[in-house]
């Protein structure tokens, strides 16, 4: 498994300057022909920003995007403000996620059925993960752990209703995730479109060995942002 590296830097265009964009956003950084070009930071609001590399006014190169969406749960019994935080840190091209990066979504309000958390790490193309690892937590009831590339598809699921092992807590590492898989037979492993036998524990561990580090990384990220089911 190999990840494609994106561009490492953008040639410096000028000294840092302040710009106010037509849409009201504020930019501070290098410019060329009146546009962000080089390294700089754009702030659309107090809750939305991008800091990194630019080419001709578009995000291109390495950069970090943060958006904190402030929302209101208007259910009568639990009316309250809450937020959903979106972060992408990685390679951009033509103002879109293109290349190696990490994307996360995290909700600080666990009571809504449509809220959850998401972690994606790998290769993106036009804002979509095309190769790599992901964890999706749905309504704080189900967690899906996935890996995909051109040949392999791995899907692992965890539910609060599981009778065995970590049924109401989030795993801290791959070893705990493996226990969930073995105790609950909760895995689909396909290679070249063919389902592999997941009932043999020794065979399953051997098949999953190349993916241990990747799953460990996304599980750590999920724990760092406070994900749980």
Do both 136 and 72 map to the same domain?
no
Do both 126 and 106 map to the same domain?
no
Do both 177 and 74 map to the same domain?
no
Nearest to 119 by CA among 165, 76, 88, 83: 88
Q: What's the pTM? A: 0.86
Do both 193 and 218 map to the same domain?
yes
Do both 107 and 146 map to the same domain?
no
Do both 37 and 139 map to the same domain?
no
Confidence at residue 167, expressed as pLDDT on a 0 to 100 scale: 45
Question: Is 200 part of a structural domain of the chain?
Answer: yes
DSSP state of 103: E
How many Å separate Cα 113 from the centre of its chain? Answer: 20
From first to last of its 229 residues, what are the pLDDT tens digits of the chain?
Answer: 333 334 444 454 568 999 999 999 999 999 999 999 999 999 999 999 999 999 999 999 999 999 999 877 666 556 677 788 999 999 999 999 999 999 999 987 655 556 678 999 999 999 999 999 999 988 777 889 999 999 999 999 887 665 544 445 678 888 888 888 888 778 999 999 999 887 788 888 888 999 999 999 999 999 898 876 6
Question: Is 210 part of a structural domain of the chain?
Answer: yes
Do both 130 and 226 map to the same domain?
yes
- Domains in the chain, number: 2
Question: Is 11 part of a structural domain of the chain?
Answer: no
Q: CATH number, domain at 75?
A: 2.20.110
Do both 73 and 129 map to the same domain?
no
Do both 107 and 145 map to the same domain?
no
Question: Is 3 part of a structural domain of the chain?
Answer: no
Do both 131 and 72 map to the same domain?
no
Confidence at residue 10, expressed as pLDDT on a 0 to 100 scale: 47
Do both 106 and 141 map to the same domain?
no
Sign for the CA dihedral angle at 8, 12, 17, 18 comes to negative
Do both 172 and 123 map to the same domain?
yes
For the chain, the 3-state helix, strand and coil shares in percent, each to the nearest 5, are 15, 50, 35
Confidence at residue 115, expressed as pLDDT on a 0 to 100 scale: 65
Which range marks the domain in which residue 228 is found? 118-229
213 φ, ψ (degrees, to nearest 5): -60, -40
């Amino acid at each position: 498994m190999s990840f494609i590296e994106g561009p490492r830097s953008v040639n410096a265009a000028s000294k840092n300057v302040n710009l106010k964009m037509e849409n009201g956003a504020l930019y501070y950084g290098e410019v060329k022909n009146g546009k962000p070009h080089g390294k700089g930071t754009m702030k659309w609001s107090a809750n939305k920003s991008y800091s990194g590399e630019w080419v001709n006014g578009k995000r291109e190169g390495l950069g970090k995007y943060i958006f904190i969406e402030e929302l209101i749960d208007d259910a009568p019994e639990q009316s309250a403000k809450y937020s959903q935080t979106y972060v992408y840190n990685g390679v951009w091209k033509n103002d879109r996620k293109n290349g190696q990066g990490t994307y996360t979504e995290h909700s600080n309000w666990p009571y809504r059925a449509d809220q959850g958390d998401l972690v994606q790490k790998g290769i993106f193309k036009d804002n979509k993960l095309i190769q790599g690892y992901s964890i999706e937590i749905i309504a704080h009831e189900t967690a899906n752990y996935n890996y995909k590339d051109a040949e392999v598809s791995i899907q692992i699921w965890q539910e609060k209703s599981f009778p065995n092992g970590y049924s109401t807590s989030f795993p801290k590492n791959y070893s705990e995730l493996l226990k969930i898989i073995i105790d609950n037979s909760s895995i689909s492993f396909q290679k070249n479109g063919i389902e592999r036998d997941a009932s043999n524990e020794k065979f399953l561990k051997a098949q999953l060995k190349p993916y241990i580090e990747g799953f460990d990384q996304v599980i750590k990220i999920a724990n760092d942002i406070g994900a749980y089911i």
